[in-house]
């Protein structure tokens, strides 16, 4: 029997909420870090890299409660959302993402090095783990193709996570090997499909929607097949209120982590029914 933990995107508040949930479950005796596979997309890539770093769960949770020094506030404004909407009118998924990537590559944002430093500061360790297997998702900003980084990709962990978190137009695309990459969340909210072949799957998803219908979390979970035991945990109404409307607001980090910790108590039974 093999297990997979899938961590979806949701901005800086999503990082905090997921960390809170994981901390609450660990306190109840459910350690999700023992998964055979961990998949991280966008915010989930940060959490995935953190929980596989060897740092203790309480330490990671306490980091979310600390003042968000070193973070950069941003907002997904109306103009940005209109660009995302325009991208969905393209005929194919890849064409839509390539169109969005063109906007991302041309956008005026903070310098790439500055954003990379923020990501580096979030990670307790900058080396890929030897175990469990860790997958980090991104999208080629030129071709619109999905890219999955792992320890054998020849890409350093900070660059992989920075690419996965490169929200188009908001944050700079990340340059790796002469190519530019953007947020893996524009293809799929969580990339549950990468857990195919595993018997038990737990999905923590701050958001369950996607630019692509096939990339929606519920659709991907259903596609795993009837023999797979899975559970999806997304923010409760109380957690959503704590997280606020701006997923990129570091000021909401502590409240989001605390909300995740509280919600974990409600999710224990559902996860225990799936997790060995």
Which strand (E) or helix (H) includes residue 47? helix 43-51
- Residues 148 and 135 sit within 8 Å (Cβ to Cβ): yes
Question: What phi, psi does 179 have (nearest 5°)?
Answer: -115, 160
42, 159, 188, 234: the active-site residue: 42
- Residues 161 and 181 sit within 8 Å (Cβ to Cβ): no
93, 140, 183, 249: the active-site residue: 183
Active site residue 183: yes
Active site residue 45: no
Instruction: Report the distance separating Cα 269 and Cα 264, nearest Å.
Output: 10
Instruction: Report the distance separating Cα 108 and Cα 146, nearest Å.
Output: 24
Q: At what angle do helices 57-65 and 253-272 cross, to 10 degrees?
A: 150
Strand ranges (E), the chain: 3-7, 37-41, 133-140, 146-149, 174-176, 179-183, 200-204, 229-233
Hey, which residues are catalytic here?
42, 183
């Amino acid at each position: 029997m093999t297990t997979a933990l899938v961590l979806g995107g949701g901005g800086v508040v999503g990082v905090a909420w997921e960390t809170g949930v994981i901390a609450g479950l660990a306190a109840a005796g459910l350690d999700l870090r023992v998964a055979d596979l961990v998949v991280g997309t966008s915010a989930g890539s940060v959490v995935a890299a953190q929980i596989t770093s060897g740092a203790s769960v309480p330490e990671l949770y306490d980091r979310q409660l600390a003042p968000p020094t070193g973070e950069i506030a941003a907002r997904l404004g109306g103009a940005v959302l209109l660009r995302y909407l325009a991208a969905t009118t393209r005929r194919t998924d890849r064409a839509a993402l390539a169109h969005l990537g063109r906007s991302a590559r041309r956008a005026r944002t903070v310098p790439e090095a500055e954003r990379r430093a923020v990501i580096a500061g979030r990670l307790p360790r900058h080396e890929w783990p030897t175990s469990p297997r860790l997958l980090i998702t991104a999208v080629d900003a030129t071709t619109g193709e999905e890219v999955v980084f792992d320890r054998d990709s020849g890409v350093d962990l900070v660059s992989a996570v920075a690419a996965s978190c490169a929200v188009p137009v908001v944050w700079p695309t990340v340059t790796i090997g002469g190519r530019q990459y953007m947020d893996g969340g524009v293809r799929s909210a969580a990339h549950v499909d990468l857990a195919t072949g595993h018997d038990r799957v737990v999905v923590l998803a701050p958001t369950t929607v996607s630019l692509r219908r096939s990339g929606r979390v519920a659709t991907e979970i259903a596609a795993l097949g009837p023999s797979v035991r899975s559970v999806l945990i997304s923010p409760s109404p109380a957690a959503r209120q704590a997280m606020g409307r701006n997923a990129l607001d570091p000021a909401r980090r502590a409240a989001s982590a605390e909300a995740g910790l509280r919600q974990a108590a409600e999710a224990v039974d559902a996860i225990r029914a799936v997790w060995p």
